[in-house]
Amino acid sequence: MKKFLVMLMVGVFVSAVAFGGIFDSLFKKKAAKSDNGKVVIKIASGAVGNELELMKKAAKWYTDEHPNVEIKVWDTPDSTTDRLGLYLQFMEAKSPEIDIYQIDVIWPGDMAEHLVDLYQYGAKAVVGDHFPAIVKNNTVDGKLVAMPFFTDAGMLYYRKDLLAKYGLTPPKTWDDLEIAAKKIQAGERAAGNQDFQGFVWQGDAYEGLTCDALEWIKSNGGGSIVSPDKKITINNPNAIEAINRAKNWVGTISPKGVTGMAEESARAVWQSGNAAFMRNWPYAYSLGNSKDSVIKGKFDVSALPAGKSGMGAATLGGWQLAVSKYSEHKAIAADVTLFLTSKRVQKMRAIEGSYNPTIKSLYKDKDVLAAAPFFGSLYNVFTSAVARPSTATAPNYAKTSQKFYTAVYDVLTGKQDAKTAMEYLEADLEDITGYPAGSPQK
């Protein structure tokens, strides 16, 4: 595992330097206070969509109430794989340069040794407001190593105006989606838009592809890569069939360039009006309805389509805020963290950014539901989303996922056939985890 983490850190070195100047100060000691005497708290924030702007807005709310504190918000790579590598550079160096990290839902177990126990800083009084499953996810050996910030699940975005134009309804199955995407794509291209695509999604070789591919496989009865009882289940006919289906999308209803797309590049095609369907996270909803969006009011969202299992599957996503064990201001950083994950801030983020709250009561808030009505209609999708096997494979999830998305990517790009790729993947995962092969749970 240590060798893999070192390789991962080296692999993202070049890209990390370019983001927000954050890497430049990795090994530089800075004063505990700014020139004006204020305590400086530094946050490594996401910057997908309008994440960064909303983080800065909430940070200003805090500093308005605490004039002795200055908060610096730094953006980090959009790619979760690159972001993990960047974080690990700080943590392995025991650097005090970041006080608060925005971490993925799959990382608490692997990062716990570097994070403080927020129960020691007042979190016990508020965790009951949040979804219990997320609190449990963030609890390692009885310690709350991260506060829930927002939750996520994959969704299908569709152009309701184009479905009406071509006499179609929102797809319930992957077969339905393929038929609709082909029909709309052909019609729009015949009408003169040669850039129009049927379906865009996250196909690059990174964690986002793990999320997308897990949805295809799970919805087709192919399991969840590694089962909760620690058996490697990925090498089965239903999983192979689902991956082959996606391979056939490339260059037909999806552009060949989809194998280079992440969340924002897929959204760029969608929001420019050049796609009938998109798989993405909830954050894209408010951006698609922004005043300068060409698709404002022309789209809606639904649960992802079903495969052979008869049900759709949405991968559980979401992000947490965690305080570094190496922070020079742990108590203040923890107070900032509790504020940023509070009901007031989560409500603002839900309304202005369609970021799913982790606070249960906000799903009944009239202002939130007016801004993002799908929070109510798709509530069950968010609360029953499929978890990636981060718990079952800990502390080897990062390597497990990397092997998985690389194998799927090789199929999508024609480097391997799906049957061979899954056979090799099964063997690789046996080596990584030491678990036996098994069949998907029914």
Q: What DSSP string runs through 93-111?
A: TT-SS-SEEEEETT-HHHH
Same domain, 9 and 118: yes
Query: Three-state SS for 76?
Result: coil
Q: What angle do CA 172, 174, 178 make, to 5 degrees?
A: 110
The whole-number pLDDT of residue 442 equals: 64
CA distance 237 to 398: 25
User: What global pTM score does this model have?
Assistant: 0.89
Tokens of 59: 């940070």
Are 116 and 145 spatial neighbours (Cβ–Cβ below 8 Å)?
A: yes
User: Which string of b and e fits 258-268 if b means at least 16 CB within 10 Å?
Assistant: bbebbbbbbbe
Instruction: Please report which residue ranges of 140-206 form alpha helices under DSSP H.
Output: 160-165, 174-190
Tokens of 233: 């289940």
Chosen domain end from 341, 358, 383:
383
Same domain, 253 and 334: no
Chosen domain end from 344, 363, 383:
383
Same domain, 193 and 304: yes
Q: Is the peptide bond before 395 cis (omega within 30 degrees of 0)?
A: yes
Tokens of 368: 């939130």
| Strands 155-159 vs 139-140: parallel, antiparallel or unpaired | unpaired
Q: Which residues of the chain have pLDDT under 50?
A: 1-31
The whole-number pLDDT of residue 34 equals: 57
DSSP letter at 293 equals -
Same domain, 266 and 340: no
Entry field: residues in the chain = 442
Q: Is 292 exposed, middle or buried (0-12, 13-18, 19+ CB in 10 A)?
A: exposed
Residue 290 CB coordination number (10 Å): 11
For residue 422, give the CATH number of its domain. Answer: 3.40.190.10
Same domain, 266 and 236: yes
Same domain, 225 and 191: yes
The whole-number pLDDT of residue 1 equals: 43
The whole-number pLDDT of residue 33 equals: 58
Please list, in sequence order, all residues whose beta carbon lies within 8 angstroms of the beta carbon of residue 374, skipping any fewer than 6 positions away. Answer: 155, 282, 285, 300, 301
Residue 80 CB coordination number (10 Å): 25
CA distance 205 to 189: 29
Same domain, 308 and 333: no
The whole-number pLDDT of residue 110 equals: 86
Its domain, for residue 107, covers: 2-145+316-383
Query: Three-state SS for 68?
Result: coil
Domain count, the chain: 2
Same domain, 71 and 137: yes
CA distance 337 to 315: 26
Are 394 and 109 spatial neighbours (Cβ–Cβ below 8 Å)?
A: yes
Same domain, 321 and 300: no
Same domain, 175 and 283: yes
Same domain, 65 and 171: no
Q: What DSSP string runs through 31-62?
A: -SB-TTSPEEEEEEE--STTHHHHHHHHHHHH
Please list, in sequence order, all residues whose beta carbon lies within 8 angstroms of the beta carbon of residue 283, skipping any fewer than 6 positions away. Answer: 48, 49, 50, 51, 152, 353, 354, 355
Radius of gyration of the chain (CA): 22
Same domain, 174 and 290: yes
Give residue 110's identity as a one-letter amino acid code: D
Are 276 and 184 spatial neighbours (Cβ–Cβ below 8 Å)?
A: yes
Chosen domain end from 334, 356, 383:
383
CA distance 37 to 111: 32
